[in-house]
Amino acid sequence: MTNNQSYGKTAIVLHWFTALLIVLVIPLAWIMGSLERGPLSAALFDWHKSIGFSILLLTALRLVSRLISGVPPAPENTPAVINKISGLIHLALYALLFAIPLVGWAMVSAAGHPLVYLGLWQLPDFVAKDHALHETLGDVHETLAYVLLALVALHAAAALKHHFIQRDDVLTRMMPSLRKR
Ligand code: HEM
Ligand code: HEM
């Protein structure tokens, strides 16, 4: 359960697992895009699609867990305007964690290369095959992914500033293992 000192266990596990998948999915996209088309690039595309879709599922789970358990109060030592900006960045991160995989799913539908989740379940195409739409969605997918990267960098820098400069408990609430006994 969430309390004043910490996020709940579920929120913490989902946060760091999602962060790990982001760290995998973006370099995977760069590598798959740089290879000649063939069995290896096809396998990496499939992994990118499945890991990306897992991020969507984990984010949905995370929002449900957030609604049930709540979040710790905003840090007291930080000006209200900064807490407001931090809240808006969290909102934008959630929006991107939904939008990027959904645009990816629409993109592969428009390309006629459906998403087969973990090689097991073929997900329905939800837009018709359309080359121009595929190209446009590809551009949107890429742009949103780079906005996500920029916001994550800002977000991580803010967390580190709290920990090393303000020396408060903002990072330890999301990473209790750092807390001094
Ligand atoms: C949060 C999840 C995801 C992130 C952060 C992400 C990120 C990226 C990035 C950075 C690229 C490279 C863009 C470029 O430089 O051209 C890319 C390409 C691609 N992504 Fe994703 N992606 C995610 C989820 C998905 C999902 C769920 C699918 C499909 C179901 C998908 C399908 C693709 C495809 C097909 C490409 C290649 C596009 C092209 O060749 O033009 N992605 N993705
Ligand atoms: C890599 C991708 C990451 C994503 C997508 C992400 C996303 C998020 C989101 C959406 C929240 C809000 C949670 C909520 O209130 O429901 C959050 C909280 C938090 N994240 Fe991240 N995060 C990432 C990486 C990191 C990293 C690398 C750090 C540390 C260096 C970090 C530290 C934190 C902390 C300390 C909080 C709690 C902030 C607070 O209590 O106000 N995150 N993260």
For the chain, give every domain's residue range: 9-176
Query: What residues does 121 pair with on adjacent strands?
Result: 117
Tell me if 14 CB under 6 Å of ligand 2.
no
pLDDT at 178: 87
15 lines ligand 2 (CB under 6 A): yes
Nearest CA to ligand 1 atom 34: 104
The whole-number pLDDT of residue 76 equals 82
Please enumerate in sequence order all residues whose Cβ is within 8 A of that of 152, keeping only pairs 6 or more positions apart, or say none.
Answer: 19, 22, 93
Ligand (nearest to CA of 18)? 2
Ligand 2 geometric centre to CA of 155 (Å) = 7
Q: How far does the centroid of ligand 1 lie from the alpha carbon of residue 142, in Å? A: 7
Q: Would you say how long the chain is, in residues?
A: 181
pLDDT in single tens digits along all 181 residues of the chain: 555 678 999 999 999 999 999 999 999 999 999 999 999 999 999 999 999 999 999 999 999 999 998 889 888 888 899 999 999 999 999 999 999 999 999 999 999 999 999 999 999 998 999 999 999 999 999 999 999 999 999 999 999 999 999 998 999 999 998 876 5
The pLDDT, as a whole number, for residue 1 is 52
Q: pLDDT value at position 180?
A: 67
Q: Which ligand is nearest to the CA of 72?
A: 2
- Cβ–ligand 1 distance for 144 under 6 Å, the answer no
Give the predicted TM-score (pTM) of the model: 0.95
Q: What is the CATH number of domain 9-176?
A: 1.20.950
**Quick check: CB of 101 below 6 Å from ligand 1?**
yes
Say how far apart CA 175 and CA 169 lie, in whole Å.
9
Q: Check: CB of residue 32 under 8 Å from CB of residue 44.
A: yes
Kindly report, residue by residue over 29-62, the tens digit of the pLDDT: 999 999 999 999 999 999 999 999 999 999 999 9
